[in-house]
Amino acid sequence: MIGNQSSGDSNKVGRPYEKSNSILSDIRYFFLNKPETNTLIELKSEFDRDHYNQLIFNRTGYELGNYKMLNIHRIAVDAPADFIFDVLMKWNSESCWWPNHIAKVHALDDQLSHIDVFLFGKLNFRPRNRSQSPDFHLLRLFNLSLLKKEESKLTNAIDNAHYLFYQCSGGYPIGVFSLFTRNSIPERNETCKSQLFMMVSFNFYGIKSWSKIKFITKPWEAIHNRVTSNSLIRIKNYCELNYQDQQ
């Protein structure tokens, strides 16, 4: 999640983009649209995976080695890391960078400590079976519980890290999820102001062995990578346009 691959201006994308206003446009913009840039950091070996696991542990203090899947995306953003983080902290059911008509976000507080994500926005749907737990919701995709939040005050420092790091439960995905941004590092050929990462690590339905079954993992990875790339591109565009407007 810290990142050690070259990432400079190669992430330039077209803008502006159309805002999604329905389930069909969510499918079109996030699932069917081919991203203008590939944001996936490819872990080509167990060494690469262990390396990133160690970087994440050094930053957060949480060990991810017990999760089979580790999926990290990164995009360069020409806006300061603290500006990007302020945008991320406004994540809600109206955020243009998330497919809210398919997976609606319900933040339970303004610090994003607890987030529920509901399929098709069915927040008020409850089963007729009253014996179910009050926390049960048939259309809840997953819950996010904040494990750690860091908001660096070192604006001009190389290691100006800001991140949200969550435990996930309740469906898709089971594991951890993080949004992470930091200043670019010129020594790594990173020429934009900042780098933005989105990371998820989990075992399929909590079963580590399922993550070895390719007919399960390959379709999931293809869909997840496309949606994640499109989401990061939208965050990039939103941040850059709004940052320029404030200058």
Q: Is residue 36 part of a domain?
A: yes
Is there a domain that residue 122 lies in? Answer: yes
137-182 pLDDT, tens digit per residue, is 557 788 999 999 998 776 666 668 899 999 998 777 789 999 999 9
Count how many domains the chain has.
1
**Within-domain flag for 95:** yes
Which two tokens mark 48?
């690469």
Q: Residue 73 in 3-state DSSP?
A: strand
Confidence check: pLDDT of 121 > 80: no
Domain harbouring 100, CATH code: 3.30.530.20
Give the domain range for residue 162.
17-246
Predicted confidence (pLDDT) per residue in 52-91, tens digit: 999 999 989 998 988 988 999 999 999 999 999 999 999 9
207: nearest Cα among 182, 173, 159, 163: 173
